[in-house]
């Protein structure tokens, strides 16, 4: 297993994996229009100048990815995905650790997930993130925001 910087050539494979990984979220919320499912490869390519995008590679195949951006000393982490066939093997935690290490100068790390995504919430709590707030987006969708102080600063 390797954890590497993603390249623009990886966009098609990352988007394919992203759609696969977010299917469970779409089913949970009965919403197939969530941004991770509608994002295109071209849109992801446009994000490369602004984001750090990592990939987990096993046997030459991308099986995980995460992206982040530093804004005002805060590292905003998003789209942490792992191929469903490889979930529960610590890959998500390792991706999270690697992206945090890329932003060692950040004061804190922030991310969010859906309020109905209980396994994601447990995952972030296990990785030392604390719930910061919950925000309703609509009558049926709320987001849970997490924060983790950077212990190295």
Tens of pLDDT, residues 19-28: 999 998 888 8
Taking CA atoms, 37 is separated from 42, 68, 109, in Å, by 14, 18, 24
Between CA 13 and CA 28 the distance in angstroms is 24
> Is residue 152 over pLDDT 80?
no
Stretch 117-126: mean pLDDT: 96
Stretch 78-84: mean pLDDT: 96
> Is residue 116 over pLDDT 80?
yes
Q: 85-97: buried (b, 16+ CB within 10 Å) or exposed (e) per residue?
A: ebbeeebbebbbe
What is the predicted pLDDT for the residue at 153? Answer: 57
Q: What DSSP character marks residue 86?
A: G
Please choose, from the candidates 117, 105, 103, the residue with its C-alpha nearest in 3D space to the C-alpha of residue 145. 117
Do residues 110 and 132 make contact, with C-beta atoms less than 8 angstroms apart? yes
CB half-sphere exposure, 151, CA atoms < 13 A: 4
């Amino acid at each position: 297993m390797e954890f590497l910087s993603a390249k623009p050539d990886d966009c098609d494979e990352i988007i394919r994996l992203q759609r696969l990984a977010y299917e469970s979220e779409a089913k949970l919320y009965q919403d197939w229009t969530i941004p991770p499912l509608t994002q295109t490869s071209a849109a992801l390519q446009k994000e490369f100048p602004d984001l750090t995008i990592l990939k987990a590679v096993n046997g030459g195949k991308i099986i995980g990815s995460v992206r982040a951006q530093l804004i005002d000393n805060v590292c905003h982490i998003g789209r942490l995905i792992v191929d469903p066939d490889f979930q529960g093997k610590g890959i998500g935690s390792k991706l999270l650790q690697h992206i945090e290490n890329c932003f060692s100068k950040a004061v804190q790390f922030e991310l969010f997930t859906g309020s109905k995504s209980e396994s994601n919430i447990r995952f972030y709590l296990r990785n030392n993130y604390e719930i910061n707030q919950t925000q309703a987006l609509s009558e049926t969708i709320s987001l849970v925001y997490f924060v983790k102080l950077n212990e190295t600063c």
